A and B are shown apart, each in its own frame.
Chain A
Amino acid sequence: NAGVMQNPRHLVRRRGQEARLRCSPMKGHSHVYWYRQLPEEGLKFMVYLQKENIIDESGMPKERFSAEFPKEGPSILRIQQVVRGDSAAYFCASSPVGGDSYEQYFGPGTRLTVT
Chain B
Amino acid sequence: AQSVTQPDIHITVSEGASLELRCNYSYGATPYLFWYVQSPGQGLQLLLKYFSGDTLVQGIKGFEAEFKRSQSSFNLRKPSVHWSDAAEYFCAVGAQRSYIPTFGRGTSLIVHP
Chain A positions within 8 Å of B, measured between CB atoms, are 4, 6, 31, 33, 40-45, 48, 56, 91, 93, 95, 98-102, 104-109
Contacts and interface: CB of A to CB of B under 8 A. Distances in A.
B43 A42 contact: no
B61 interface: no
Contacts of B9: 40
B103 A102 contact: no
9 contacts: A4-B43, A40-B106, A41-B106, A42-B90, A91-B43, A93-B44, A98-B99, A102-B32, A102-B94
Contact of A106 (B32, B43, B49): B43
Interface in B29-52: 32, 34, 36, 41-46, 49, 51
A41 B88 CA distance: 11
B78 interface: no
Interface residues of B, number: 25
A101 B44 contact: no
B99 A48 contact: yes
A105 B45 CA distance: 7
A100 B103 contact: no
Given A4-B43, A43-B90, A99 B97 contact: yes
B60 interface: no
Contacts of A44: 103
A109 B32 contact: no
B44 A91 contact: yes
A102 B100 contact: no
Interface string B80-97: 000000000010101001
